[in-house]
Amino acid sequence: MSERPTPLIIQLIRHGRVASHRGDVPITEEGRQEIARQAKALAQRLLPGEEIFILHAAPRRASETAQVLYEVLAQAGSRQGAGLSLRVHAPQRCDALRTPDLYLAGTRVEMVSSATALVEQLPPASGLGAEDVARHPFWQGFWSTPDRIGYWVNLPDPPGEDSRSAARRLWTFARSLADLPRQRPRRYLCVSHSPLLRAFLRHYLFEGADPGEPNYGEAIEIEALSAGTFRVRYRQRQRCLS
């Protein structure tokens, strides 16, 4: 009988609650409290001796979510009497968790909820104003639909990464974490954004169907089972992938 590999769990987590997506906004106080509660619940399920890495996308809402996770789990790890013996590493930025790569006038831009917030991402030399970008076919459709992320997820040819490309980027990154040697159980908490998580779910767990928005702080769990084989769990669904 082959020896069971040292546990490896990767959690792809949506950032905490925000008031809007008008720019690089922080999470709300309610969002902080929600993430803290989720981190406390996670601490009750950790394996003794786990080594925890917290990775996050660049925007403020992701980095602040990662910091809350770190503070709660580091405090849990300091409870030596609990027998956890956790090793919790400080949060680190990870570009693989970035939002989809979309381009406007030669500049990579973030998905935002207003033309003004989009123009703020462009260099002044572009000469484009809010009225100009509001007429762009992609952004016109993006802002006019109630489900903006769903618009991108289901669009075959956006001005940049489509959902399949973004999903493959996230899956390739997650799988690569199993390349690292480990002597103790490892857990990666990867804070990202709903477009990336929703794209991943559509193409790897929901067989091409759009699953809709994950909740703030909700996670997709990927567990390494053996060399090259992983189990993906989300809500009531699970699937083995290789």
Instruction: Please report the pLDDT score of residue 159 as a whole number.
Output: 98
Residue 13: closest CA among 39, 47, 33: 39
Structural domains of the chain, ranges and CATH numbers in brackets: 8-100+161-241 (3.40.50.1240), 102-153 (no CATH)
* Rounded mean pLDDT for each run of 10 residues along the chain, 242 residues in total: 76 96 92 97 90 97 98 81 78 98 97 94 95 96 96 97 98 96 94 98 96 98 92 97 92
Distance between CA atoms of residues 193 and 20, nearest Å: 13
Tell me the H-state helices in the chain: 29-43, 60-77, 115-119, 130-134, 137-144, 148-153, 163-176, 194-204
The answer to whether 210 and 33 have CB atoms below 8 angstroms apart is no
For residue 31 the two structure tokens come to: 């969002």
The alpha carbons of the chain give a radius of gyration, in whole angstroms, of 19
Digit-coded pLDDT (tens) for 27-44: 999 999 999 999 999 999
Distance between CA atoms of residues 190 and 230, nearest Å: 16
DSSP-based three-state secondary structure for 202 = helix
Q: Look at the alpha carbons of 162, 165, 167, 173 in this order and tell me if their dihedral is positive or negative.
A: negative
148-163: buried (b, 16+ CB within 10 Å) or exposed (e) per residue? Answer: bbbbbbeeeebebbbb
pTM: 0.94
